[in-house]
């Protein structure tokens, strides 16, 4: 019983050493690409200048979803 609990508490490096397995190879760090914020801002602005109706559609959809959610809550809980 005592030997089994020590296996559970033992770290991976010690367990590999006891089993005669070589240490695990270290992996290289993943280099994530750097984001160019200025380029993204200019791309978004050019799209908004090209299609100025997008913000109105976005806010309109958000208001419709909010009103629909309130209607659903009132209807499901029979508040009104």
pLDDT at 5 over 60: no
- Please write the tens of the pLDDT for every residue from 18-40: 888 888 888 777 888 888 999 99
- Please write the tens of the pLDDT for every residue from 43-64: 999 999 999 999 999 999 999 9
5 or 31, which is more confident?
31
* CA distances (Å), origin 4, targets 1, 9, 10, 34, 63: 5, 9, 10, 47, 60
In the chain, where the domains are located: 35-80
Q: What is the pTM of this model?
A: 0.47
């Amino acid at each position: 019983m005592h030997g089994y609990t020590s296996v559970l508490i033992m770290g991976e490096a010690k367990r590999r050493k006891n089993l005669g397995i070589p240490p695990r190879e270290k992996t290289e760090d993943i280099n994530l690409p750097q984001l160019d914020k200025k380029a993204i801002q200019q791309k978004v602005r050019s799209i908004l200048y090209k299609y100025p109706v997008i913000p109105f559609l976005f806010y309109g959809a958000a208001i419709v979803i909010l009103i629909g959610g309130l209607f659903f809550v009132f209807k499901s809980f029979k508040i009104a």
